[in-house]
Amino acid sequence: MNGALRVDAGGRINRARPLRFTFDGHELTGFEGDTLASALLANGVHLVGRSFKYHRPRGILAAGSEEPNALVAVRRDDARYTPNLRATQVELYDGLEAHSQNRWPSLSFDIGAVNDLLSPFIPAGFYYKTFMWPRSAWKSLYEPRIRAAAGLGESPTQADPDRYSNRYVHCDVLVVGAGPAGLAAASAAADVGARVILCDEQSELGGSLLGEPDGARAPQIEGERASAWLTQTIDTLTRNPRVSLLPRTTAFGYFPHNLVGLNQRLTDHLANPHPDSPRERQWQVRAQEVVLATGAIERPLVFPGNDRPGILLAAAARTYVNRYGVIPGSRAVVITACDEAYRAALDLHDAGVFIATIADVRAQAYGPLAERARRAGLPVQTLTTLVGTSGRLRVNAVQLARIGDDGKVIDGVQTMPCDLVLMSGGFTPSVHLFSQSRGKLAWDDKAQSFVPAQSAERVRSAGSCRGTFALAAVLEDGASAGSAAAGDAGFANTARRPAVPAADPAIGAYAGALPQPGESTGHKAFIDWQNDVTTRDLALATREGFRSIEHIKRYTTTGMATDQGKTSNLNALGFVSRQLDKPIPEVGLTTFRMPYTPVTFGAFAGFARGDLFDPTRTTPTHDWAARNGAVFEDVSLWKRARYFPRNGEAMHAAVARECLAVRKGCGIFDASTLGKIEVVGKDAVTFMNRMYVNAWTSLAVGRSRYGVLLRDDGFIYDDGVVARTAEDRFHVTTTTGGAARVLAMMEDFVQTEWPDLSVWLTSTTEQWAVIAVQGPHARRVLEGLVEGIDISAQAMPHMSVAPGRICGVPMLLFRVSFTGELGFEVNVPADFGLAVWEAIHAAGQQHGITPYGTEAMHVLRAEKGYIIVGQETDGTVTPDDAGLAWAIGKSKPDFVGKRSLQRPAMAAADRKQLVGLFTADSQVVLDEGTQVMLERDQRPPVRPLGHVTSSYYSPVLSRSIALALVAGGRARMGEALYVSTPNGDVPVQVTSPVFYDSEGARLNG
Amino acid sequence: MLLIECPYCGERPELEFVYGGQAHIARPQNAPDLSAQAWSDYLYQRDNTKGIHAERWRHTHGCGRFFNALRDTTTDHFIAIYKVGEAAPAALKTRKVAL
Amino acid sequence: MQPFSGLSLLRRGLSGQRGWTQQWRRAEPKGAYDAVIVGGGGHGLGTAYYLAKEHHLTRVAVLEKGWIGGGNTGRNTTIIRSNYLFGESAALYDHALKLWENLSQVLNYNVMFSQRGVMMLAHTVHDTQVSKRHVHANRASGVDNEWLTPADAKAFCPPLNIGDIRYPVLGAALQRRGGTARHDAVAWGYARAADALGVDIIENCEVTGIRRDSNGAVESVETTRGLIRTPKVGVAAAGHTSVVMKMAGIQLPLESYPLQALVSEPVKPIFPCVVMSNTIHAYISQSDKGELVIGAGTDAYTSYTQRGGLHISGHALEAVCELFPMFRRLRMLRNWGGIVDVTPDRSPIIAKTPVPGLYVNCGWGTGGFKATPGSAHVFAFTIARDEPHPINAPFTIERFRDGHLIDEAAAAAVAH
């Protein structure tokens, strides 16, 4: 059937390139340059979808992104299934597979249409009034049914294999919309040398010009046909290296400080996209100046039965004829409140469509277009309204009635058969982006529209998006906006005015429902097509006391469908304004929100998926650990080796083996992730005294000390070993996760509180590889490798630090232990980390050196009662709570957090304090986070005494151990308490948090 | 994403900066002797201004320097940028807007 | 109050649904009230309802500068749960949850409370420790919360990607009683029920001043619609609390930040529950209408603009796409922002103030909606009795001075 409904020539389709496609399995043909909508119409298919609530048959209303009805799913394969696409935006490609939505069993026979019959009982907001009894039925019965009925398309069910990319750019002038105004603006700005980005949501640049007839009836610009001007203009822009043209690119959001988000669709129009090409690209454009040339959207008219397939916006029908060469019907009735519909009638008439009548609701139709229509012999009836339509799956007749001088409908209905209705309620300027930019809008009564008034950003509007409709005026407006924008961006401001014929007069508009006789004909008059919101719903909402347009919108859902009210908002406002007898500006305008049209989630995510979701930080020995079977854990951005299973060991077995190796022989551990900050300057010690709770003045060069850092609210923020490597130099270590925020906090104090201190801070976390060698054999392992340092117990006691060399590379050697064993931490430049690690590992073989991971490290430190910030502490723990009061420099006048430690709550006797717990059954390992109770079997709610912070099986003790924060814990030594578990309370005994070698003999070995 | 003018590096996107909260809240010199209320005010009380707000930013992923800004919290437009230790500018220049 | 039921819908359907009258009166401000509530969101309207219902104060007005439910009530992602760590918080939020369970019936307004289960994911060993601590603490508090293995989590929410991702799912804490509700209905339902008890709901009425008598006590409020005398003012103004309280000379430890949320285009049922990931910042559920409702984070800076940065919503979608890669092709339909007022310990203030007769309910941060009925209930108690209900007694202003913080955020702090 293809071709039957096409004009013979003209338009922007390529008749030499037929394309096959399917719709609900039916094989059809279109042409290159078609949208799915134009190709369907060319095949005589008007029924393309079912409405959201009543499942009414719906056709194609529009030709652009404002389409509310014709939503389809496009399937490339099981994983590339995209629901809810507007058929008017889907570009045809060979093999395209489209499906209608929200119907069962078929589009033409849909069981859900029974809702249409039930509509008297399911008005707006009906669900707020019912489904409440019995209470349990909401979850089991009502809600599942409501949910099944709601929704439009089906979600994809497989991971999307396509890629998305993003780009950040700056430009002098961003022009949004490549219709005549946008092209004129971009040309004017580009002519004076500005860097210009011009984007448009359509596949071709040209905007409204694409829908104009060519040939003899073509509009003239600068003395030539519009199509020729368009070709030349685009050609000139294309050749300008400072101009970027972005078709298929929607400006979806306007953000503060002139940042505009663009969504560029790269492959959806291709039959066989290159597998490496991203599907979409998100641009974030920071523009010095923005020109919005976003055009205007034709407004439907509201009358009973206005939703049948075959009822189109007039300008859309014109676009189908002129751009796509499609004849959307054979016998048309035009209903209008706007001169532009006459232009559509003339173009369709020229294409061979019989124009049964042009019904104009206005009293007069004197404009030049109306005159042309009359001269062409088209019947024009003024003061005429449309009071009904008929036709099940497509309109087959309309009923017209006369409007009296008093504005009331006169009795007597004229029925007129037709298969096409064109309607026009005028044009609504697309102020979405302007409003998103927080610009103020003003009501224009003549245009029955809101138009841009005052900008909040560096933005101008040009052309029909600010209510300028005549082509000549639009071009002039665009050119002057482009010039002025370039001027404000620092280029010459040379207004360029194309020679144009005289402007058209004002064209007319209508907001609200058309006059109807009496109360109601029983047919629904739709305001919001997609969400099935009718005049009756809006009337009900106002009757029920909803007056703010935001309330009415939310109660009736008008304007909340996937088209976000592009075709409905002004009619809703107009209707409500009459219901409430308030002028439209007083009813209010719902806020425009991003995005302008829906934007793919994947385009926001861009490259951030899988390994690129977050940066991955690895230590110098990462690959070695991976080769040696390490299981890694995520700690902030780092990958840390958690344990090194051998021969399929489970974690607990590997951890036990690693722990015992450290206790009995020697272990090697990569501690490189610990944060490292170099604090340097003549006031370094003063700075450290003020930052950390400890006293630093007495710390000798070559010695280190465990430091505790508080926030000013008195709670533990971080900890770590701090070494004094020179009089004016400290090597500060932090927790892995705390490195960045500790440096930030230090910088804050240095720069803003104590600028008088001479001190500099440098992060050296990634400069050093840190290799911990721990265990009774640690010294013997290192002895042969270390150069220039005497590492004997006498020369290098616990907590000493010395520079030297190892394996020929510079080293800072710490005698330090987080395991309770004799231990060293070898700091070498990161690039040598792996080589030194391998050398130590090789040298340690004869001593049974064993690599261990973070899990064994946790067990070993817990056996010694060493805390981990973030595990024993949680932002509510003071040094005293954690048993670290000893670290506080008592004689210091102040340090960060000191004053807060005097607050009443900090001194309370029932503060939670760090203790150890032994389970009565030594083999029971408590779950971390379990709650400590005073008594057994208490019924909730009960206030626990505290909770278990760390809990492990200690291989060296052959029993379980736990650290816990317990209210008044240090006074409870030996006390019997209970730990609540899902399987009952476990008896425990409070003990010291130091479980192993409490005298520290091994440490000092 | 805001566009923020670092006084040392120029205009950069917000991603390079870390917000530092209200400006001109000096840590009390005599902290240990301060009343509970005065200390609590220092720790927690903020003007939370609706309007012109003096605030701190740090160009963390740049020069690393702290600086101050006046920003209108009803529009997010910056009105002035000034350095740490300087008083907030009294004269507020209004931002040029175009239609 | 016209009763709402399936029967009434049917009956009125026979006459074109014409019999319905306004759900609440369009009240004009009177010269004096026993109590004035500033802020017509869920918390304020609920407070007025409970003042009238349980404390028999009938001369009550709710003053709303815009339209009721237009602030955070109508801008949030409607997640409801009570599995907070500390006993004080759990008691407050579970009080609310219990009221949610009967709210539709009590108000005769279907608020569509849907106990679909709220699942909070753990991605790291530290997450797991924190999540399990919550589970165990909640058991002591009598709040349901259970630990799921990754496979259990996947079974509960089939679209979840637990394996091949940057931060694999190591488990999840599930509160089955948690879920979502229809936010607008909460405001409207409370408004209708309060109105029926005589409460005046006055929209487009902005409070511009709070006058105090010679003793310093509240005497009246100045509004854009005239002076209103009242001995009691309850402020429930969410993001604008600082602005209102300044009128009475009170500064609170609050900062207001933009918070964003977004929805997808509606699709048929695909997502059975609520999933939250605090580590990678994803909050997602599917509404009754079919839209995926997604919460994003706050911006870094304070603002009253009700809009946030593109990178904030973008980051939320990165997380959603990572956890649910089948949703990458779905599309963002609408994105919006609200203003949340945040306290230093991320817990609310529901308390008397130093000004006699002035009460404040604020500081809910990103989590106020879930508390609506419970917060309103105890706030009404506090206003009526001039003393806190035992449940909100810990949520004072003075806790910041004395150090008795209820620091839910710090308790989840990450370090190692």
The domain defined by A621-673+767-869 folds into: Gyrase A; domain 2 (3.30.1360)
Closest by Cα among A552, A563, A529 to A54: A529
Backbone angles phi, psi at A762, to 5 degrees: -140, 130
B77 interfaces chain C, CB cutoff of 8 Å: no
Chain A (914-973) residues lying within 8 Å, Cβ to Cβ, of chain B: none
* Residue B38 to chain A, least CA–CA distance (Å): 11
DSSP string, A856-915: HHHHHHHHTT---TTTT--SS--TTTTT-GGGS-TT-S--TTTGGGGSGGGG-TT-EEEE
Tell me if chain C has a CB within 8 Å of the CB of A160: yes
Which CATH number does A3-117 carry? 3.10.20.440
Cβ within 8 Å, pair B98-A286: no
A423-459: per-residue pLDDT in tens? 999 999 999 999 999 999 999 988 899 999 999 999 9
Residue C90 lies inside a defined structural domain of this protein? no
**Is C382 a domain residue?**
yes
In chain C, residues with a C-beta closer than 8 Å to the C-beta of B20 are none
- What are phi and psi for residue A672, nearest 5 degrees? -65, -25
One domain for residues C188 and C334: no
Q: Which residue, among C299, C304, C407, would best test binding to B if mutated, counting the most B CBs under 10 Å from its CB?
A: C304
CB-CB neighbors (< 8 A) of A459 in chain B: 98
Are residues A358 and A334 in contact, defined by beta-carbon separation less than 8 angstroms? yes
Determine whether the interchain pair B31/A457 forms a contact, defined as Cβ–Cβ distance below 8 Å.
no
Angle at A495 between CA A288 and CA A255, to 5 degrees: 20
Superfamily of domain A301-424: FAD/NAD(P)-binding domain (3.50.50.60)
Global pTM value: 0.96
Name the residue among B19, B44, B47 with its Cβ closest to that of C300.
Answer: B19
State the smallest CA–CA distance between residue B40 and chain A in angstroms. 9
pLDDT digits (tens, 9 = 90+) for A923-979: 999 999 999 999 999 999 999 999 999 999 999 999 999 999 999 999 999 999 999
Q: Does A522 touch chain B (CB under 8 A)?
A: no
- Are C167 and C266 found together in one domain? yes
Residues 101-140 of C with CB under 8 A from B: none
**pLDDT tens-digit map of A195-208:** 999 999 999 999 99
For tokens 């002039």, the residue is A476
Contact at 8 Å (CB) between A242 and A195? yes
Query: Which whole-number Å values give the CA distances from A348 to A60, A63, A325, in the listed order?
Result: 17, 15, 10
Q: Residue C203 sits in a domain of what CATH number?
A: 3.50.50.60
Give C409 or A496, the one with higher predicted confidence. Answer: C409
**Domain presence at residue C244:** yes
DSSP string, A461-522: E-GGGGT--SHHHHHHHHHHHHHHHHHHTTS----------PPP-------SBPP-SSS--S
ipTM over 0.90 threshold: yes
Residue C14 lies in a domain: no
Round to whole Å and give the CA distance between C94 and C101: 11
Note the pLDDT tens digit of each residue in A510-529.
Answer: 999 999 987 655 789 999 99
Taking CB atoms and an 8 Å cutoff, what residues of chain A touch B36? 903-904
Residues pairing with A296 in the sheet: A429
What is the Cα–Cα distance from A488 to A480, expressed in whole angstroms?
12
Residue A505 has pLDDT above 70, yes or no: no
Q: Which domain-ending residue is among C313, C342, C371? A: C342
CB neighbour class for A493 (10 Å; exposed up to 12, middle 13-18, buried from 19): middle
**Which residues of chain A make contact with B13, given a CB cutoff of 8 A?**
168, 286
Please, which pLDDT band fits residue B95 given cuts at 50, 70 and 90?
A: very low
A564-598 pLDDT, tens digit per residue, is: 999 999 999 999 999 999 999 999 888 899 999 99
Same domain, C163 and C260: yes
Kindly determine whether residue A286 and residue B64, on different chains, have CB atoms separated by under 8 Å: no
Q: Which of A993, A963, A946 is nearest to C136 (CA)?
A: A946
Amino acid A520: pLDDT: 57
3-class DSSP assignment, residue A547: coil
Domain boundaries defined on chain A: 3-117, 164-296+429-488, 301-424, 621-673+767-869, 674-764, 908-1004
Which residues of chain C does A544 touch, with a Cβ-Cβ cutoff of 8 Å?
A: 20-23
Could you list the pLDDT tens digit for every one of the 416 residues in chain C? Answer: 899 999 999 999 998 898 999 999 999 999 999 999 999 999 999 999 999 999 999 899 999 999 999 999 999 999 999 999 999 999 999 999 999 999 999 999 999 999 999 999 999 999 999 999 999 999 999 999 999 999 999 999 999 999 889 999 999 999 999 999 999 999 999 999 999 999 999 999 999 999 999 999 999 999 999 999 999 999 999 999 999 999 999 999 999 999 999 999 999 999 999 999 999 988 999 999 999 999 999 999 999 999 999 999 999 999 999 999 999 999 999 999 999 999 999 999 999 999 999 999 999 999 899 999 999 999 999 999 999 999 999 999 999 999 999 998 776 654 44
CATH 3.10.180.10 fits A674-764, yes or no: no
> Which tokens is A524 given?
């629904």
**Residue A1 confidence class, pLDDT cut points 50, 70, 90:** very low
Substitution target from A116, A281, A604, A861 for chain C, most C beta carbons within 10 A: A604
Nearest-by-CA chain A residue for C18: A540
Q: What's the sign of the alpha-carbon dihedral A778, A779, A784, A786?
A: positive
Identify the CATH number of the domain defined by range A164-296+429-488.
Answer: 3.50.50.60
Are both C294 and C371 inside the same structural domain?
no
Predicted confidence (pLDDT) at residue A661 exceeds the cutoff of 80: yes
According to DSSP, the β-strands at A638-643 and A631-635 are: antiparallel
Q: Which residue of A has its CA nearest to C22?
A: A544
Residue A610 touches chain B, beta carbons under 8 Å: no
With b meaning 16 or more CB within 10 Å and e meaning fewer, what string describes A789-805? bebeeeebebbbbbeee
CA-CA distance, A21 to A419, in Å (whole number)?
25
pLDDT more than 90, % of chain A: 91
Do residues C152 and C204 share a domain?
Answer: no
Neighbours, chain A (3 or more CB pairs < 8 A): B, C
Cβ–Cβ under 8 Å, residues A862 and A963? yes
Of C321, C342, C363, which closes a domain?
Answer: C342
Looking at the domain that runs over B3-24+41-92, which CATH code has it been given?
3.30.2270.10
Hey, how many other C-beta atoms are within 10 angstroms of the C-beta on C404?
17
- Out of C135, C328, C409, name the one closest to residue A601 (CB): C328
Alpha-carbon distances of A706 from A142, A272, A316, A896, C313, rounded to whole Å: 62, 63, 76, 16, 41
**Nearest-by-CA chain B residue for A455:** B99
DSSP states along A19-80: EEEEETTEEEEEEET-BHHHHHHHTT----EE-TTT--EE----SSTT-SS-EEEEEEETTE
Residue B96 has pLDDT above 60, yes or no: no
Q: Which of A457, A751, A893 sits opposite B32 (nearest CB)?
A: A893
Whether domain A908-1004 has CATH 3.40.50.150: the reply is no
- Number of domains making up chain C: 2
Strands A976-981 and A164-176, by their bridges, are unpaired
Q: What is the structure's pLDDT at A954?
A: 98
Query: Which chains would you list as touching C if contact means 3+ CB atom pairs under 8 Å?
Result: A, B
Question: Is the predicted pLDDT of residue B20 greater than 50, yes or no?
Answer: yes
Say if residue B94's pLDDT is above 50. Answer: no
| Residue of chain B minimizing CA distance to A451 | B99
Taking the CA of residue C311 and the nearest CA in chain B, the distance in Å comes to: 7
Same domain, C266 and C154: yes
Query: How confident is the prediction for chain B on average, in pLDDT?
Result: 91
At A739, give phi and psi (nearest 5°): -55, -50
Q: What does the block give as tokens for A990?
A: 């409070």
pLDDT tens for A378-403 read: 999 999 999 999 999 999 999 999 99
C381, C274: one domain: no
Cα–Cα distance, A273 to A269 (Å, whole number): 8
Average pLDDT over residues A784-789: 96
Q: Does B2 touch chain C (CB under 8 A)?
A: yes
3-state secondary structure at position C401: helix
C54 lies in the same domain as C126: no
Strand, coil or helix: A127: helix
A709 vs chain C: nearest CA distance in angstroms?
Answer: 13
Report yes or no: A838 and A848 within 8 Å, Cβ to Cβ: no
Distance set, CA C365 to CA A875, C131, C217, C297, C412 (Å): 18, 21, 28, 11, 16
**Contacts (Cβ under 8 Å, ≥6 apart) of C15:** none
Domain encompassing residue C218: 28-77+183-253+345-402
Residue B91 pLDDT > 60: no
Same domain, C174 and C52: no
Q: Among candidates A211, A191, A207, which has minimal Cα distance to A199?
A: A207
